[in-house]
Structure 1
Amino acid sequence: MTPLEVAGLQTFYGKSHILHDVGLTVKEGEIVVLLGRNGAGKTTTLRSIMGLTPPREGNVRLFGTDATRMSPYRVAGLGVGYVPEGRKIFANLSVEDNLRVPAVRPGPWNTTRVFETFPRLAERRDNRGRQLSGGEQEMLSIARALLLNPKLLLLDEPSQGLAPLIVKEVFQIIKTMRQEGISILLVEQNVRVSLAVADRAYVLDDGAIIYSGSAAELAGDEERVRSMAGASAKEWVTSDI
């Protein structure tokens, strides 16, 4: 059963028309990356899928179920984890207490498994969220979503503001999640690194999909990536992720 099928999304903020007939799919076991310049509508797409900013038109199907008008907690209940832009951890809670916040669902991911996968978090389990580095906060945000034992994970800009070595570590974790059978929809500004791990790619421009296809094919066309996704020279470097 296909984890995610989105068709014809028309999403607004007030009178501002943000998404224009957006459609995409994420198949079982895939990493799909959604690229685009700042303000293209990437975060709004994830929010529309999660029910945080419901579309006025179009539909969202999750694992064969119509989830277009579902509340976020019901979307999560279908097996969808969401790691928002900016991490949104609890700054005054310890790492361990942050991990107690999600309503844990049955499955392979529990606190013990999280600390094995993220040893840095295990070392800092008593530290408050505000005492963590940006990379550690991102790991905590991902770990918290994994405790829901999702079948589909939506990641919004996981590399934002992170040092290159930490970016590599975060993307290795993303690859591990796919090996665990989790399907992933990834929103990213780091074009080269995200295309290196993704199976397929979509590019948004002014709220509309302008590319849909193989991530490897897109990665091989530097000029097209620069024009469509706004990749900077710094981002467009050889990656060994």
Structure 2
Amino acid sequence: MSVALHIENLRAWYGDAQVLHGVNLRVGEGEAVALIGRNGSGRSTLAKAIMGLVRCAGEMRYRDVPLVGLRPHRIARLGLGYVPETRDVFPALTVRENLVLGEKKGTRFTLADAYRLFPVLEERASVKAGALSGGEQQMLALARTLAGDPSLVVIDEPGEGLAPQVLAQVGACLATLRERGVAMLLIEERLTLARMLDARVAVMGHGAVRFDGPFAALARDERVMREWLSVG
């Protein structure tokens, strides 16, 4: 499998506070990787570093194009999409306006695809995004990102606060993306979506990757489970 995203010895800071301490990670073309860990482990900071939203140093390449130092819009144009935990829809615009705003000419993921995968978005197409429920905003944020035709999507906590039925819809959407060859880095707490997608698992702790492998191997690794995942 060829490598889409290559990260080596990546460090990142908020001001003078260093959060990432030498992250090493690879995501293959069309592969799903689930990034898990305790709160404060650096997962969301890694997502922001990939998208050029925090100061970082080290080696980071997307299809052999260096990412460190690039502005976010340049990174997005290379084919990386980002769905932040905060969703960041445009509240004053309608659902349809949000989707059209993110649309790229010739995209593999059309407005019709969005409505087919998330029927509620079509039902509420003329409703302002700020009036949507949290679950509806999550679906809109994901659909809007996909309208930009990314080849790799970084998704931060897509299942947070979602009802099981909505979570299943998000999972179906991500499965469709894998079928279309889109790679994804999935930041998740409960591993529900990771299991659905048969994703490789990477465990973060104290700003570095502490485990990288299949879920079955993680479940057998008592040391990693105890030191980097268990609470209390």
The reply to whether TM is greater than 0.5 is: yes
Distance 2:213 2:45 in 1: 21
Q: 1:84 to 1:122 in 2, by over 3 A?
A: same
CA shift for structure 1 position 32:
0.1
Which deviations, in whole Å up to 9, do the C-alpha atoms of 1:79-135 show, x marking residues without a partner? 111101111111121101111222514232222222222211111101111221211
Equivalent position of 1:4 in the other structure: 5
- 1:207 equivalent to 2:189? Answer no
Equivalent position of 1:15 in the other structure: 16
Q: Which amino acid aligns with 2:145?
A: A
Aligned length: 231
CA shift for structure 1 position 61:
0.4
CA contact (8 A) 1:191 1:231 kept: no
Q: Secondary structure at the match of 2:158?
A: coil
Which deviations, in whole Å up to 9, do the C-alpha atoms of 1:197-235 show, x marking residues without a partner? 243111111112111111232245688546523479xxx
TM-score, with length taken from structure 2:
0.92
Q: Secondary structure at the match of 1:139?
A: helix
Q: Which amino acid aligns with 1:2?
A: V
Within 5 Å, which residues of 2 pair with 1:100-139?
100-102=100-102, 104-139=104-139
CA shift for structure 1 position 21:
0.4
Distance 1:146 1:127 in 2: 20
- Worse-superposed segment, 166-175 or 27-36: 166-175
Q: 1:113 to 1:231 in 2, by over 3 A?
A: farther
Distance 2:10 2:95 in 1: 37
Equivalent position of 1:51 in the other structure: 52
Could you list the runs of 5+ residues in structure 1 that have no partner in the other structure? 233-241
| Runs of 4+ residues over 6 Å off in structure 1 | none
- Between the aligned residues of both structures, percent identity stands at 37
Equivalent position of 2:62 in the other structure: 62
CA shift for structure 1 position 66:
1.1
Within 5 Å, which residues of 2 pair with 1:1-241?
1-55=2-56, 57-102=57-102, 104-219=104-219, 224-225=224-225, 227-230=227-230
Q: How well do the aligned residues superpose, as a CA RMSD in angstroms?
A: 2.0
CA contact (8 A) 1:30 1:198 kept: no
Q: Secondary structure at the match of 1:3?
A: strand
Q: Secondary structure at the match of 2:189?
A: coil
